[in-house]
Amino acid sequence: MIDDGQRGQRRIDVDEALPSVEIPRRILNDLYAHAIETLPDECCGLIVGTDEDRFQRLVRCRNEMTMHHRQDPVEFPRDGSEAFYMNSLDYMMVQEEAEARGARVTAVYHSHVGVGAYLSGMDLAYAESASFPFPDADHIVVAVFDRKVDSVAFFRQDGEGQSFLGRTVVSSES
Ligand SMILES: [Zn+2]
């Protein structure tokens, strides 16, 4: 597969001209492990932190897109290998626990299987929909090819109502 079937739709790629984002190595290791374990489906989950320390903890969520696809293939034309839909109980529990500790969900992550690390038209539609639970969160996308992590990218909205900008990611030790 060379494409996610989103030809002609908008997508956001990494802008190599922008500075990289540093993400702690232990968070990236958790992310990569989740992406491999979830194959052939995409993984998804949340990063919890604060404005000062954005990447404190990674929490996995269940991707229930395959279930939605089976129940309503018109509304949900793709299954979990091509798209993600976070289980709402999972993300609500993460959100509650984070807020109880004075933290919040700073980023939402998911994987792509057999396509690159970009925000697809469908990712953007989900992130910008009224039902998306974390409109202020950043996005992290990890691309998996041949059961190996190929690349990872970080996306942040450039101000309210603005488009996302994509950056490369480097690991840090902290
Ligand atoms: Zn995606």
Domain membership of residue 15 (yes or no) is no
Nearest to 81 by CA among 138, 144, 129: 144
Cα distance from N-terminal residue to C-terminal residue, the chain: 36
The pTM (predicted TM-score) of the whole model is 0.92
Q: Is 125 helix (H, G, I), strand (E, B) or coil?
A: helix
Evaluate whether residue 96 is within a structural domain: yes
pLDDT at 163: 87
The H-assigned helical ranges of 101-153 are 121-127
Q: What local confidence, expressed as pLDDT, does residue 10 receive? A: 85
Gap from CA of 9 to ligand 1 centroid (Å): 13
CA of 26 to the centre of ligand 1 (A): 22
CA distances 146 to 83, 109, 114, 133, Å, are 18, 20, 7, 31
44 and 110 in contact (C-beta within 8 Å)?
yes
The alpha carbon of 172 and the centre of ligand 1 are apart by a number of angstroms equal to 24
Q: Which domain holds residue 70?
A: 21-172
Which CATH number belongs to the domain containing residue 134 in this structure?
3.40.140.10
State which residues of the chain have pLDDT below 70: 1-8, 160
Tally the domains of the chain: 1
| 11 in any annotated domain | no
- 2 domain-assigned: no
Residue 84 has which token pair? 């993600």
What is the rounded distance in angstroms from the CA atom of residue 39 to the CA atom of residue 34? 9
Pairing of strands 138-145, 148-157: antiparallel
CA 153 – CA 167 distance, rounded (Å):
6
Distance 102 CA to ligand 1 centre (A): 29
The amino acid that residue 114 corresponds to is: G
Domain for residue 14, yes or no? no
The token pair at 47 is: 């990063």
pLDDT at res. 131: 85
Q: Residue 69 C-alpha to ligand 1 middle, in angstroms?
A: 16
Residues 6+ apart with CB under 8 A from 39: 113, 144, 147
- Whether 10 is in a domain gets the answer no
pLDDT at 5: 47
pLDDT at residue 6, rounded to an integer? 45
Q: How far is the CA of 41 from the centre of ligand 1 (A)?
A: 11
| Per-residue confidence (pLDDT) for residue 41, from 0 to 100 | 97
Q: How far is the CA of 43 from the centre of ligand 1 (A)?
A: 10
